Structure 1
């Protein structure tokens, strides 16, 4: 049987999100182990451009396009229904472990009467995978005997596959009528001048040690500007109202793995570490020498962040 990847589209549905490319890398590992092909499902409205982009991705054998107005908003009930029309033709169904994927995968698994395998970080074999547990402090190896494996993929654990190099055919699939179970009202899309947090190569994050939202802006933004970095925050900083929820990095926020992660005024609670400890290089600035963040940092500076960060900016 074949492997199916359900693509995540941008809000406008015209392009693929980066998470899809990372998920396809996991699919490619499975394809190598099982000698299977990879199909990609594009479910949206006027999504021909996204389908064409998917057809060019290296390793993709076929693109399946489900195009209908009621798929435009990406409502889970409608995406699930369309995916189920073809789901039983596949041995593995993969989605990114994003809010989008986590909304769809459990519905598909339940309708197929199989167990979902969540948040995998490694592919061991066709039926065995690794996934983090206990906030990332342990890795569980899980094996499934279900005939169809429904899997969510932690995108930070897999590099993005090449967006060019393929030439797959695009085939239209039947679309199920609107389920009527949910209704899309509106969407507010935040326009960022900085890189998207989950796709950024460099992230500067602030914690409760900054003291206020004004200090967060005054201290961290100049450093992020110099580095071309995205801005993040600990849950404590978000709960204190320093920054919006979109900035939160951690187990209940966004999972990131940039090339460089700069943690400023972050003590290193286990919840936060679970979301960023896979970063390639971690730099920590904190006045508390006992802060847990120093336990995983590659470089640590014990000192006053209000003096250290401006000094870094000046040096850059």
Structure 2
């Protein structure tokens, strides 16, 4: 029984979600192999070989894999899928794009967003916006799984010494064409990997107030900035800052929610945070039900005072 982890990377380095997925793969039992599919991705393959617990790295290098197009990466996975009992992807935008294609071609049911491995064929995953946990048992010969990173600790990035095996890259399927990418540049930590997150909600009232109140606190703490769906929909913050069921799932060491009521959609994305601090003037706000520390106050007064005190 061998598990295959599909590494997420930028051809130069691995994304942190890969490490969490390796931990899930190790819990399935048996050896763990990592597929690094890209172009000029030797550095990423070398980094994967250093991950503790990885037995082998499979490196596929070709022009068709350069930009991680789901159609081509899925074809690469399918080319070697017959050797594995489990195929695991990070539950990121990229992983969620590729995994269903692989599952469909293998004619198996995908097991999505797992947070725990009970055994080699039994897994736990949240349903109903995280309000219930489903235990799923699969009898498929190959388990195609997406892994929620917040449910598993990251594997050690060093300490391993896996062999790197080079395999032939698949040809371009011709089903999609990469035209370009518009990537937001930021000096802040990536939202899903940040240890501290400061989030703002609809109560901030405008983009100007959002920036005026949230940014200084995030700067002081060296934190990433997040936002509720209501704040994003109102145009106060960019889409890529949304935390929640339809945004990003986060579990930082410290999560500070400012003016966020705590709708189920938002709680599903952050309630696994180690320490949650809520600032809201509504004493009935649902956010207080999950907060470790709650401050019933006007955020326009409380947050600047907090900035001064830090």
Q: What interval of TM-score do these two structures reach, taking the shorter chain for normalisation?
A: over 0.9
- Aligned match of 1:15: 13
* Aligned Cα root-mean-square deviation (Å): 0.6
Kindly report structure 1 stretches of 4+ aligned residues shifted beyond 3 Å.
Answer: none
Distance 2:23 2:220 in 1: 32
Corresponding position of 1:30: 28
Q: Is the 8 A contact 2:62 2:170 kept in 1?
A: no
1:50 aligns with 2:48: no
Describe the SS at the equivalent of 2:130. Answer: coil
Contact (CA 8 Å) 1:82, 1:174: kept in 2 or not? Answer: no
Which residue is 2:2 aligned to? 2
Map 1:36-185 onto structure 2 (within 5 A): 36-185=30-179
Q: Which runs of 5+ in 1 are unaligned?
A: none
Q: Is the 8 A contact 2:6 2:36 kept in 1?
A: yes
1:61-84 Cα distance to aligned partner (Å, 9 max, x none): 110011001101100000000110
Deviation, structure 1 residue 48:
0.4
* Runs of 5+ consecutive residues of structure 2 not aligned to the other structure: none
Task: State the distance in 2 between where 1:16 and 1:193 align.
Answer: 19
Counterparts of 1:85 and 1:179 in 2: how far apart (Å)? Answer: 13
Find the residue that maps to 1:85 and give its secondary structure: helix
Map Cα deviations across residues 233-267 of structure 1 (whole Å, 9 max, x no partner). Answer: 00000000001101000000000000100000000
Aligned to 2:304: 310
**Number of residues paired by the alignment?**
310
Scaled by the length of structure 1, what TM-score is found? 0.97
**Equivalent in 182, 202, 213 of residue 219 of structure 1:** 213
How do 1:232-311 residues align onto structure 2 when only pairs under 5 Å count? 232-311=226-305
Shift of residue 274 of structure 1?
0.4
When normalised by structure 2's length, the TM-score is 0.99
2: CA distance, partners of 1:311 / 1:140: 43
Deviations 1:107-136 (A, max 9, x none): 001111100000000000000000000000
